[in-house]
Amino acid sequence: MLRQALVTGASGFIGSHLCSYLQRQGWFVRGLSRSGIVPDGVDAVVCDLADKPVPEEIIRDVDVIFHLAGKAHALSGSWIDEEEYFPVNVKATRWLLEVAKTAGVKRVVYFSSVKAMSARGSGPHDESCGGLPMDMYGRSKLMAEHLVLHGSFVPVPVVIRPVMVYGNTEKGNLPKMIRAIRDGRFPPLPDTRNQRSMVHVDDIVHAALLTAENPAAAGNVYIVTDGQAYSTRQMYVWICETLQKSIPGWQLPFPVLKALAKGGDVIGKIRGRRFMFDSDVLEKLTGSEFYSSEKIQHELGFKAQHHLKETLPEMIRYLEQGR
């Protein structure tokens, strides 16, 4: 019997890859998005979950809902009202779960974030980390997790917490870094020996299908990484090598970076819009976010197939085609 899936956020980077992957595995896929733009062969549903619940007939025969739709973590630009996260990430999730319960859907796989946990210190951090998340985005994702896992809406709830996802996309911090290095706008950073976890988009969608098919996943939370710890300096060197650009023999001292970041904070406050380089950006560049995915490896047999260094040439070719 043909299995059926509903993917919310189907027009996004991860959602579109998940739709295509499920199709290749023999699933019938219905993709829900505000734009209605979905991969070829996917049954498109136009709906804004933050505005109204999805119609019950859309999910009546669905075996699994993969819920990716939500308000992403703000990375740059204007400071947003942090309360904006809750209508999209919490209320919309509740609406979806209520309709799923009425329609008799058995399994929901919710794409959360490692921001839903309080990960302080060097790591690697795992699913046992307690404490409140460090910002309102993380709290909204954690509240949505509680609805999925403990709201008694579906018999088999699962939560996935991805780290930073990389692959062929023009959005996100890594493509920005690649373009800046290519154009000579990215200074040689010092080696702070920071550790950052990442995962390729193909690996995250494979992990999602494992959680949808393995009974052992029921009621669990899984962090998904590629098992590596990357430093920003290491990424900088690899990108330069892939672009065939020479690596400067000097490095920008960290105290200089810190002073520039504080200056960016002041400029941002004055103009009411974040400056291109501030303390938050500095933390993302030089701080650590190191996580363990041993749980999903041990319980579900997940094994990442991609490594950033090996993937960079394909990513750079993709970005070059879009120039």
List pLDDT tens digits, range 281-321.
898 899 999 999 999 999 999 999 999 999 999 999 999 98
| pLDDT attached to residue 77 | 43
pLDDT at 78: 45
Q: Does domain 4-167+198-225+290-306 have CATH number 3.40.50.720?
A: yes
What does each C-alpha distance from 320 to 13, 75, 201, 313, 315 come to in angstroms?
18, 23, 19, 11, 9
End-to-end CA distance of the chain: give it in Å, rounded: 44
Band of residue 82 on the pLDDT scale cut at 50, 70, 90: low
Residue-level pLDDT at 276: 84
| Tens-digit pLDDT profile for residues 116-155 | 998 766 779 999 987 788 788 899 999 999 999 999 999 9
User: Quick one: which of 84, 142, 76 has its CA closest to 110?
Assistant: 142
pLDDT for 208-238, tens place per residue?
A: 999 999 999 999 999 999 999 999 999 999 9
Question: Residue 76: its pLDDT value, please?
Answer: 43
Amino acid identity, position 2 = L
Whole-model pTM above 0.85?
yes
Question: From the CB of residue 136, how many other CB atoms can be counted at a distance below 10 Å?
Answer: 19
Burial of 184 (C-beta count, 10 Å sphere; 0-12/13-18/19+): exposed
Residues 247 and 224: beta-carbon distance below 8 Å: no
Measuring CA to CA, how many Å separate 315 from each of 167, 171, 181, 272?
6, 12, 14, 34
CB-CB contact of 13 with 165 (8 Å): yes
